[in-house]
Amino acid sequence: MSTYLPTLKQLQYLVALQEHGHFGKAAESCFVTQSTLSAGIRELESLLGLMLVERTRRVVRFTPLGNKMVTKAHRILREAEELAEMARSAGKPLADDLRMSVIPTIAPFLLPKLLPALRKKYPDLKLYLREEASAAAVEALHHGQVDCVLLALPFPAGDVEKAHLFNDALYVAFPLDDPRDPPESIEPELIDENRLLLLVDGHCLKDHALAACNRPELRATAMMLGTSLHTLVQMVDNGLGLTIIPEMAVAAGLLNGTDVQARPLNADHATREIALIWRTNSPRREEFELLAESLRELHTT
């Protein structure tokens, strides 16, 4: 029986290579040189006596065994992270490193207000942020790459716990004088399905907007063009259509410098729930609940 055991570093290299499909990008994500990462994986293969990765000039292809190893490596790395979390949770709360993913329809509108106040309240907290779409953020959470996620619900997040922060209303944004005398709120029936512009797939705001309107034809006819809310607003400002944006974006000045107007969407469930989620049974649960309480309080001040 072999006494050799893979190191956590080698498993990190293997997971990064599978995630990025490129040695250079994988090395960059691990903050090492490409030669260091490549050597680490070769050493792992040599000591196991097995090939895990097929290498060509253009393609990195994992063998069937390599894919199985990556699946197991994700679990091992996550459990190793939980050991470190257990040690951190025994000390002063929110006084260490914390990695948080935030979705793009929240980050630029909420964080500039919250982060300075959070730093003042918890000066020893080192908060490392990743901005990514909901699916990628949830995947990173379950793979142990982040500790918690600030996102909008509903969204299928798997086996997680959550802390509700606040509800964020949805608004309809449309060009100036179109309509000329807009009502105080917009009924879903008033939305022209041929002019509705939404974010591309992967952004949960698109699904929240369609669900709130509850008009199946919108899913088929709306144009999924925008890669960000800023892009959508610019298209609306140029008369290309209308869109649906969250209240926090309006409050943060997204429409400043444009002629775009916005009115609340008058429909059942015309809100999204802003929440903090983390892995079920995380040893840092009390810290996350404390962080959620602080975010909730700071948002209302």
Average pLDDT over residues 30-48: 91
Span 74-107, pLDDT tens digits = 888 888 877 777 666 566 778 888 999 999 999 9
**pLDDT of 239-275, one tens digit each?**
999 999 999 999 999 999 999 999 999 998 899 999 9
Q: What is the pTM of this model?
A: 0.74
Confidence (pLDDT) at 80: 84
161-194: pLDDT as tens digits: 999 999 999 999 999 877 777 789 999 998 888 8
Question: 98-126, pLDDT tens digit by residue?
Answer: 999 999 999 999 999 899 999 999 998 99
Residue 288 is predicted with a pLDDT of: 94
Interval 212-248: pLDDT, tens: 998 888 877 777 777 899 999 999 999 999 999 999 9
User: What whole-number distance in Å separates Cα of residue 44 and Cα of residue 40?
Assistant: 6
Q: Which residue do the tokens 């309080």 mark?
A: 297
Listed in order, the ranges of the chain carrying CATH 3.40.190.10 are: 97-165+276-300, 167-271
CATH of domain 167-271: 3.40.190.10
List every span in the chain annotated with CATH 1.10.10.10. 8-88
At the top level of CATH, the class of 97-165+276-300 is alpha beta
| pLDDT for residue 1 | 44
Res 2: pLDDT: 53
Q: Which CATH number fits domain 8-88: 3.40.50.300, 1.10.10.10, 3.40.50.2000, 1.20.950.20?
A: 1.10.10.10
